Amino acid sequence: MKKSIIISLFSFLLLIVTLTTTATAYSTPDSIVAAGKVYVSGITYDPAVFFPGDTGTVTIQVTNGNNNSGVVVNHATLSDKNIRVTSSPYDSSSTIGPGQTRDFTFSIIADGFVGTYYPVFSLSFRDADSLFDREMVQIDDTPIEFTVVDKPDAFAQGKKKTIYMQVANPRKNTIRNVILDVSGTEVNPSPSRIFVGDLDPGMKTPVNFTVSPDTETTANLTVTYSNGDNPHVITTSILLNFGADKKEANPVVSNIQVKPDVGFFHITGDVNNAGLETANTVMVTALSPAVPQDPYKCYVVGALKPDDFGSFEVTFAAANTTSVPLQLSYKDADGNVYNSVQDVALPKSGMSSQTSGGSNLIPVLAIAGIIVAVFVGGWIVYLRRAKK
C-alpha cells in the first residue's frame, strides 16, 4: 500500500515537471518580441451606439505587425460587467501570419444603463503573454424625433388633407429601415405606410401623407426603425377635428353684370380669393334651371393666389325664371373640390319676358279708346248743337 502511494506521488511529480518543461519550451525572447508587435488595429460595434437592451456584435481586428514571423494565438475573449457577451470565446489555436489581420467577433447585449463603457478584449499568445485592449462603446436611449411640421387647422368630412411630418435622427449612429404607418378608424390615410429608409446621424427627412376622415377621429402614427438588428417603435397621434380652416381659400364672386343676349343670358363678373391659400382651378358655371350655352358654358378662371382676382363670363339660356344659381368651384392643394352657389337675378327681359307684352297692352288700348271716344264724342255733340 505504502509502495503504491509512493509510486503515484512520484508519477504526479513527474507529470508536473514534464508539463512545466513543455510549456516554457517555446517562450523565447524572439517570440515575446514578436507578440509585442501584435496590436488591435480596429474595432467595430454594430450598432455603433446601443439602446439599453440592444443586441449586437463587436468585431475586433488584430493585426500582426511583424514582417517575417507569425504569431500563434490560442484564446480570445471580451469581458465587461455591463456588456454581456453571448457568444463563446475563441479557444482554438490559430496563427496570424506576418502583416495579416484577423477579426474576432463577439455577440453582445447592452445590459447596462445609459452611459459609456469600456469592454476589455483579451488575446493569449502561445509563445508569449496576453494582449489586452479596452475599446469604448456607448449606450444611449435617445429615440428618433417624429414631429408635425404643418397640418390643417381643421378637417372636413371626406375631404383629403395633407399632413406634413418630419423624421429626424438625433442619435450618433445611423438608424435603418425607418417606416411610418398611419392608422385609425375612418382616417383613410394615403399612403398608409411610408418607407423612409436609412437616416444618418443629425439628418432629417420630410414625410407627408394625406387623410380623408369620414368622421372626427384620431390618426395613429407609428414609426418603426432598426438600430442594428434591434427594432424600435415610437408612436404619436393627431386629432382630426372637423371645422372651418382659417387659412383655406375663399373665392368671392363680385361685380356681377347680367346682359340678355339673343336666346341666352351673358353674365360677367370677378372672382377674388379672400382666403390665405391658393384656390386652384376656379370654375364658374350656371346651374339648373339655367342651361349653359356656348361660347362660355363653363368658364375656367384658373388658379387664384390669396388676394388675387380673375374675371369670368358665362352664357346660358333660362326661361320663365327670375334668377339662376351660379356655381363657383375650386380645388385645394389636395385636389378636394369645393362648391359655392349664389343666386343671380335676371333682368326682366329676353326670352323670359316675351310673353308678357300682350297683357300690358290692355290698359293702353283702354286709355287710347277712351281718349279717342271722348274726342269723337265731343265733336259729335258739338256738331249736333251747331246743327240746331
Partner 1 sequence: MKPKFLDILVNPNAFFKEAMQENINLKIPALIILVAAVIGAVYGYVYGGLTAELMSTGMPGLETVILAFAVIAAFVSVFIFWVIWTAVIFLFSAVFKGKGTFKRTLEFVGYGYIPQIFGSLIAIIIALEYIPRVVIPHITQATLQDPQLMQDAIKSLTHDPAMLEFTQISAIVTIVFLLWSANIWIFAIRHSRELSVRDAVICVMVPVIAFIIYLVYNLTVM
The residue ranges that bind partner 1 (CB under 8 A) are: 259-263, 266, 347-351, 353-354, 356-358, 360-361, 363-365, 367-368, 371-372, 375-376, 379, 382-383, 386
C-beta closer to partner 1: residue 151 or 259 = 259
Maximal C-alpha separation, the chain: 199
Q: Which is nearer to partner 1, 48 or 351 (CB)?
A: 351
Using the minimum distance from each CB to partner 1, give the nearer residue, 203 or 367: 367
Query: Please, which residue, 130 or 349, has the CB nearer to partner 1?
Result: 349
For the CB of residue 312, give the shortest distance to partner 1 in the complex, in Å. Answer: 16
DSSP 155: B
* Residue 145 grid cell: 424625433
* Minimal distance, residue 363 CB to partner 1, in Å: 8
Q: For residue 143, what is the DSSP state?
A: P
Close Cβ partners of 339 (under 8 Å, ≥ 6 residues apart) = 327, 328, 329
Q: What minimum distance in Å lies between the beta carbon of 387 and partner 1?
A: 8
CB 76 within 8 A of CB 58: no
Taking the complex as a whole, the smallest distance from the CB of residue 207 to partner 1 amounts, in Å, to: 54
Classify burial at 320, counting beta carbons within 10 Å of its beta carbon; exposed 0-12, middle 13-18, buried 19 or more: exposed
Closest listed residue to residue 295, CA positions, set 313, 277, 311: 313
**Of 62 and 317, which has the nearer Cβ to partner 1?**
317
How many Cα neighbours within 13 Å face the side chain of 115?
8
Residue number, 244 or 367, with CB nearest to partner 1:
367
- Closest to partner 1 by CB, 146 or 316: 316
Least distance (Å) from partner 1 to the CB of residue 380? 9
Least distance in Å: CB of 358 to partner 1? 7
Q: Is the dihedral of CA 156, 247, 337, 187 positive or negative?
A: negative
Asked whether the beta carbons of 186 and 160 are under 8 A apart, the reply is no
Looking at the Cβ atoms of 242 and 382, the one nearer to partner 1 is 382
At its nearest, how many Å lie between partner 1 and the CB of residue 349? 4
Q: In the Cβ-directed half-sphere of 61, how many Cα atoms lie within 13 Å?
A: 10
CA 337 to chain centre: 23
Nearest distance from residue 347's CB to partner 1, in Å?
5
* Close Cβ partners of 369 (under 8 Å, ≥ 6 residues apart): none
CA dihedral (290, 291, 296, 300) positive or negative: positive
Closest contact distance (angstroms) between CB of 317 and partner 1 is: 12
- Residue 5 or 262: which CB sits closer to partner 1? 262
Residue closer to partner 1, measured from CB, 110 or 317: 317
In eight-state DSSP terms, residue 278 is P
Please state, as a whole number, how many other Cβ atoms lie within 10 Å of the Cβ of residue 97. 13
Q: CA-CA distance, 73 to 31, in Å (whole number)?
A: 12
* CA nearest to 102, candidates 73, 133, 80: 73
First CA to last CA across the chain, in angstroms?
198
Q: Cβ 309 to partner 1, closest distance in Å?
A: 23
